[in-house]
Amino acid sequence: MESTSFIRFLFLILAAVVLLLFTRSWIHLPSPAADELDLLDCNRFSSWCTSKNRIQTKQTTPSSSSSTTRSASSSSAAVRDHSDDVPRHPLDPLTLREISAARSILLSQPPFSSSPSSVIFHTLTLSEPDKSSVEAWSKGSPLPARRASVVARFKGESYALTVDLASGALTTLPIPASGFPTMTIEDMSSSTWAPLSDAAFNSTVLARGVRLSDVACLPISPGWYGEKEEGRRLIKVQCYSAEGTANFYMRPIEGLTVLLDMDTKEVVSISEQGRGIPIPKSAGTEYRYEAVAGFNDDPPRLGLKPISIEQPAGPSFEVEEGGHMVRWAGWEFHLKADARAGVVVSRVRARDPDTGEWRGVMHKGFVSELFVPYMDPTDAWYFKTYMDAGEYGFGLQAMPLVPLNDCPRNAHYMDGVFAAADGI
């Protein structure tokens, strides 16, 4: 009974984290040229940017109207230096040093050594040892061989490899017959502004009465329906008007879909099935707490009263110093962030109350995928069949949590360290 309750508790946490990733995630957009800033870097109305179906905020200096609680609590989260991290458990994620070593090994060997700057890293993560090795390991014993799992693109070809961090050996793995690797942050962010370099796209946006400075676009995975472009890395881009609101989802430029080549940033085609559909007005679309009427009054007229969650004696859980092992109420498990899966819980064990011995409950648990088919047959909707982990990555879309706003006192903050598209 206790085991069942804990598993339910564990996956309730995972579900909450995934929901948080969906609703509050961000990425950092690449810096466009100076003359593109107004058109490509968010919009003139607010500091909100976008990627996929999530909202991101630019790094800005808090204004004087910012919440005192948010400003104060934000500064209380310690920023850790991970440069000296070392793995302590067979399932610990790759450290900065290991990521750097894997990158160097791969780039030094053919065919990648011929043009290292052309290598794009879609995945650079721990190649986990098999279950029997993990179960046989005990604290204080040498770790199983540390290997990196790499999925890379090089001159239009995909590669799946394993890098042995001790020997430097590079092993090539079979490539699936179809499909492409998970998109990188750079893939997603560059796709949001690429259509604005196309004259035909700009013309149709202006014809709809939308200023280019108010355009907010999203890269939407196209699915596969047997089209002739099967061999190309394509993304579909749809756009919104952010004029007058940060909630641009409420103001879609309906029926306008751009088919984009992610490698060349070329607009392959533009579909316009909704030219006669008006863009909704911005009135009443605002959702941000600070923008609600009465927020800036003293005292606020929202009718909200403060809430406080306290544990005067401190938390009931323990997290290994600088590590990933968590112990709580007779339970023990390994917790880490993964670029694709997001939160991963492994090696879950419970202490038997009668014998005092640890017994295994779950080897590994995570949200493997969220598949979201919209099932609307119209041209601008039929292809929307999100596979959120496999295409976008739960971990890649994660964002920092704000103490006291996102989490109560005594919360423990565990960083996720991921490699970018250049392997750094």
Q: What is the rounded distance in angstroms from the CA atom of residue 30 to the CA atom of residue 154?
A: 21
Distance CA 107, CA 289 (A): 48
**Alpha-carbon span 187 to 421, nearest angstrom:** 9
Query: Rounded to an integer, what distance in angstroms lies between the CA atom of residue 403 and that of residue 45?
Result: 28
CB neighbour class for 17 (10 Å; exposed up to 12, middle 13-18, buried from 19)? middle
> So what's the pLDDT on residue 268?
94
| CB contact set of 26 (below 8 Å; sequence gap of 6+) | 49, 54, 55, 56, 57, 397, 399
Query: Quick one: pLDDT at residue 173?
Result: 94
Higher pLDDT, 18 or 129: 129
Residue 229: per-residue pLDDT? 58
- Stated pTM of the model: 0.80
The domain made up of 31-57+183-291 has a fold known as: Nuclear Transport Factor 2; Chain: A, (3.10.450)
- The yes-or-no verdict on residue 333 having pLDDT over 70 is yes
Averaged pLDDT, 405-412: 88
pLDDT at position 227 over 60: yes
The more confidently predicted of residues 297 and 86 is 86
Per-residue pLDDT for 209 more than 90? yes
Calculate the average pLDDT of the chain: 82
Sorted by sequence, the CB contacts under 8 Å of residue 100 that are 6+ apart come out as: 424
pLDDT in tens, 100-109: 999 999 999 9
- The residue whose two tokens read 């969650």 is 309
How would residue 25 be classed by pLDDT, with cut points 50, 70 and 90?
very low
Please answer whether residues 280 and 376 qualify as being in contact, where contact means their C-beta atoms are separated by less than 8 angstroms: no
Say whether 96-173 and 31-57+183-291 share the same fold.
Answer: yes
Task: Give the closest residue to 334 by CA, choosing from 322, 343, 323, 346.
Answer: 346
Q: What does the pLDDT average to over 146-158?
A: 96
- Could you tell me the residue ranges of all domains in the chain? 2-20+306-392, 31-57+183-291, 96-173
Q: Are 192 and 237 in contact (CB under 8 A)?
A: yes
Q: For the chain, percent helix, then strand, then coil, each to nearest 5?
A: 25, 25, 50
Q: Which CATH number does the domain 96-173 belong to among 3.30.360.10, 3.10.450.40, 3.60.20.10, 3.30.420.10?
A: 3.10.450.40
